[in-house]
Amino acid sequence: MSNSRSTKLHVAMFPWFAFGHITPYLHLSNKLTERGHRVSFLLPKGAQAKVKHLILYPNLIHFYPLLVPSVDRLPPGAETTSDVPLPLRGHLRVAFDQTQDQIQTILSSLKPDFIFFDFSPWMPALAHQIGSKAICYSIVTPATQALKVPTKKKPEDMTVEDFMQPPTGYPPSCV
């Protein structure tokens, strides 16, 4: 890839199967295509029909349909979080991870320069394998993500001074 400003990139998008994730990925896709870059968007077929109207540059954004695998307790035909009751969303997560072979097949043939993802921890290894760069594009704020990280101390044991200090080992010495 040259450093020239005229270099056009091919970018792949693989967001979590929730419209709150898909929509920001489409907005980013529109911004990239506004500058002439091509975008390949990997998404369940049913979800594609619901968001196609958001595409500003249909000649530069191409959808690649995914089949959401059948998973025990996942309602038949479920493709996004809006199709699944909250208590069953973990099963959609399992199905999402089971799309890995489909994703690998599609991306191996496309060979994009970059792959944007948010909920697939296996994506960086896959991207490396096909010669692409993986970019974790999280639409969730760092503060919200931090709430899910387990702490060694229980918050009720922590003082104000404890909160003012970075956690032990952060930042790591290898950075």
Q: What is the DSSP string of 153-175?
A: S-GGG--HHHHHSPPTT-S-TT-
Q: Is residue 155 part of a domain?
A: no
CATH number at residue 44: 3.40.50.2000
Q: Is residue 96 part of a domain?
A: yes
Least confident of 57-66, 128-137, 141-150: 141-150
Q: Is residue 150 part of a domain?
A: no
- Which secondary structure element, helix H or strand E, spans residue 59, and what is its range? none
pLDDT confidence tier of residue 162, bands split at 50, 70 and 90: confident
Q: How far apart are CA 123 and CA 22, in angstroms?
A: 17
Query: Residue 9 above 90 pLDDT?
Result: yes
Q: Is residue 156 part of a domain?
A: no
Could you tell me where the beta strands, DSSP code E, fall in 15-100? 38-44, 61-66
Query: Residue 58 above 70 pLDDT?
Result: yes
- Report, as residue numbers or ranges, the catalytic residues: 21, 118
Q: Is residue 3 part of a domain?
A: no
Return the residue matching tokens 């990997």.
42
Tokens for 44, please give them: 């369940």
Q: Max CA-CA distance within the chain?
A: 56
* More confidently predicted of 7 and 116: 116
Closest CA to 92 of 135, 136, 128, 47: 47
Q: Which domain holds residue 63?
A: 10-141
Q: For residue 44, is the peptide bond before it cis, meaning its omega torsion is within 30 degrees of 0?
A: no
Percent of the chain with pLDDT over 70: 89
pLDDT confidence tier of residue 153, bands split at 50, 70 and 90: low
Rg of the chain on CA atoms, in Å: 19
Give me the mean pLDDT over the 134-140 stretch.
93
Q: Is residue 22 part of a domain?
A: yes
Q: Is residue 60 part of a domain?
A: yes
The answer for residues whose C-beta is within 8 angstroms of residue 69's C-beta and 6 or more apart is 95, 98, 99
Query: Residue 1 above 50 pLDDT?
Result: no
Overall residue count recorded for the chain in this entry: 175
The b/e string for 107-121 (b: 16+ C-beta within 10 A; e otherwise) is beebebbbbbbbbbe
Return the residue matching tokens 């702490």.
151
pLDDT confidence tier of residue 151, bands split at 50, 70 and 90: low
Per the confidence metrics, is the pTM higher than 0.95? no
Q: Is residue 114 part of a domain?
A: yes
Q: In the predicted model, what is the mean pLDDT of the chain?
A: 90
Least confident of 7-11, 48-52, 137-141, 164-168: 164-168
Q: Name the domain count of the chain.
A: 1
